[in-house]
Structure formats: structure tokens, C-alpha cells
Amino acid sequence: MHLNGFHLAYCTNIHRGENWAQTFASLQQYTLAVRERVCPQKPYAIGLRLSDQASRELSEPSILSSFRKWLDENNCYVFTINGFPFGKFHGTRVKEQVYLPDWTSADRLEFTNRLFDLLAQLVPEGVEGSVSTVPGSFKEFECTPGEQRQMRDNLFRCVEHIARVSEKTGRQLHLGVEPEPLCLFETSGETIAFINQIRAEHGNDARLKEFLGVNYDTCHLAVEFEEPHGALAAFQQHEIRISKLHLSSALKVRPTEEVRRELNKFTDDIYLHQVVARDVTGTLTRYRDLDVALLQRVLTEEEWRIHFHIPLHAPRTALFDNTTDHLLGVFDALQKNPKLCSHLEMETYTWEVMPTEMKNRSVVDQLVGEYEWCLGELAKRGLR
């Protein structure tokens, strides 16, 4: 939905859908049901997730024309695409495979370019379009300096493509790399260094500032123990645009024995749940997954932040806290500077693997609850 210059949507990666038929079925079954509850009369924004296969199928002219007609008939519009997961994202082991192909690969470049080709034909006139993507690669893949240079070159080629498509169609489009724990760049500082290196290697080409930015995920940066004011100020200082804001919360706990036992409910065989632990001296330790962290017995660790996206409106409990304060800090930054970013996307893709007590209602009810929470917080700040 359109709110005082902002576009707010939920990311459809919460639903299954690896080919276009499955993706479109989810839009018809779930997205329209949510829309009827939160925005029945006005144009409704969709944060679309497309796999490589679905993007290829949607690129067929007749299928794309049919989808555009469906959007018009239902008074919906697409303003952003999640281009992070390339292949299957539900019902099978994803874990570190979600970063493959990474930006060393021509397949990742081709996929992302295709998403921009589609977005340019879907986004309404006068509305910016964004695509989010993986943070280069996963640190454990141990990319060589040459492979890292290949990543940066491929991203520059993507920027060149975005510039051509933007000029041809008159649409303002941009790519957001998404820092995530244990990835090639996971903190604001590492992300800035990576982008500045691309700029240096390509003569500070002006297109890099216009078409390449950051997809700021409030869960990911909170897990890294970053503060929103400092992270956002650093990006602004280096003239790195905030392409999109992912509105999400992570688990925050004190790792007592009781909490550790209860955290077993959050382990699963589908997604990585990286853990960043802080000890009494402020030192951070990173664990690749929650089950790995649970095997440790470091008595000096006083706080864990866990990459497990939980509902935005999930209450704190005696055992489990959350990182909602980081998200609210970003909303405060938007209040002070509404031009910071116009793309807001709620992203709680972990619905299928949440403990039973956290999903005791339908996915539609869950999404409506997140909209109500977000709209309430935005209204408090005069942003609705």
C-alpha cells in the first residue's frame, strides 16, 4: 500500500512457490485474502519473490501480459522483487545453499538482470522499483581474491544492465545487496568497504551510486549488535542509498539452561539460524547455526541474537526477547528523514518452521497482524 511516499508490502517468500504456476496460485489464495483485510479499496502493493524458474516462465510474453492484466483487475502493483533465493526455498534443505549461485556466477547475474527486465514492465509509472540480492557469497565458501573480484565485476555488469533498462523504460530501478550474518559482508562496515571497492575499481562510475545500494534487513543488522542510527548514518556518509528496508525481528535471549532447552524448538533442517553471542566483555562470537551454538558451554556469554525471523507483533516472554527495538529505531530514522527510503517490506519467511505456539492461527491472520503492527507504529510517527 502507498503511505505518504512509502510503499509497504509483505514479501511473498513466506509462501511456497518455485515455479510460476505455484507462485501465482499463492498470490491468488493468500495475497488477495490479506489485501481484502488490510487494503480493500486502494491500490495494494506486492513484494514479489521469484525463483529462477518462475522468472523464466513469467518472462514469456503471454504469461507476463496475463499477470499484468490480473494486477490491474485486482488493483495491485509490484514495486519490489526478492531476488535473494535462486532456487527452492521451502520444504527442503536450504541452509547455506541459499547463497548459491553466488555473485561469482554468471547464473546469478543473468537471473538478477532478468528480474529487472520483468520489474521494469510491472512497476507502475512514477514508482521506483527495487530488487534485493545475496551479500556476495557465504564466508565459509572461502572465495579467493580473484573470485571476489569476479563478484564485484558481475555486480558492476548488473548495474550497467539496470542503467540501460531504466533509460529505455523511464523507470527508476535499483539493486540492494543484503548483508547477512556470516556472509562475505555481514556488518555495515564490511558492506561499505565492499561497495567502495567496486566504486574504486570502476572509476567511481556515477551509475554505482544511482543503481546499487543496500537492502537493510533490520533482523540481520540487529543480530550483528549494530545500532540503527550508527549503521544508517554510516551508509549515508558514504552516499550509499538504502534501496529497501526489510522489516523483520530476530530472537534475543540470555542463554540459560532453561532457554537452551526451549531453543531446541527453533532448530530445523531447512534454514540457517546464525547466532552472534556477546560475552561480559562485549566480545562477539559467531556460530554458523543454532544447533551448533546450543552445543557450546561458554559461561561468559550473556546474550545471544539469533537469525530466526519472528512475527513483528510477537510479544516478549519470560524466556524470549526480540530485536524489535532495532526496527523501531529505523522507523524513528524514517520519521526524521522520510526520504531515507521509500520501500518497506515485511519479511517473516520462517512461517513453516516456527514453533507451534507462534503460529496458532492462519498465515493470513499472521500477515494481517504484522500489517496492523507496522501501520500502528508508522502512525505513531506520522508516517501513515
Decide if 258 is inside a domain. no
CA distance 151 to 135: 10
Predicted model pTM: 0.97
Q: Is residue 28 a contact partner of residue 21, using CB atoms and an 8 Å limit?
A: no
Decide if 269 is inside a domain. no
Q: Is residue 71 a contact partner of residue 64, using CB atoms and an 8 Å limit?
A: no
pLDDT for 38 equals 97
Count the domains in the chain. Answer: 1
Integer angstrom CA distances of residue 146 from 21, 105, 153, 159, 308:
39, 13, 10, 20, 33
- Give the containing element (helix H, strand E) for 253: strand 249-253
Domain that holds residue 11: 2-249+323-380
pLDDT for 360 equals 82
Write the CATH number for 208. Answer: 3.20.20.150
339 alpha carbon, distance to own chain's centre: 20
Q: Is residue 327 a contact partner of residue 247, using CB atoms and an 8 Å limit?
A: yes
- Per-residue confidence of the chain (384 residues) as pLDDT tens digits? 999 899 999 999 999 999 999 999 999 999 999 999 999 999 999 999 999 999 999 999 999 999 999 999 999 999 999 999 999 999 999 999 999 999 999 999 999 999 999 999 999 999 999 999 999 999 999 999 999 999 999 999 999 999 999 999 999 999 999 999 999 999 999 999 999 999 999 999 999 999 999 999 999 999 999 999 999 999 999 999 999 999 999 999 999 999 999 999 999 999 999 999 999 999 999 999 999 999 998 889 999 999 999 999 999 999 999 999 999 999 999 999 999 999 999 999 999 999 998 888 899 999 999 999 999 999 999 998
Which grid cell is 360?
Answer: 496458532
Decide if 304 is inside a domain. no
CA distance 162 to 112: 10
Decide if 182 is inside a domain. yes
pLDDT for 297 equals 86
Which grid cell is 375?
Answer: 501501520
β-pair partners for 321: 252
Using DSSP's 3-state secondary structure scheme, residue 279 falls into strand
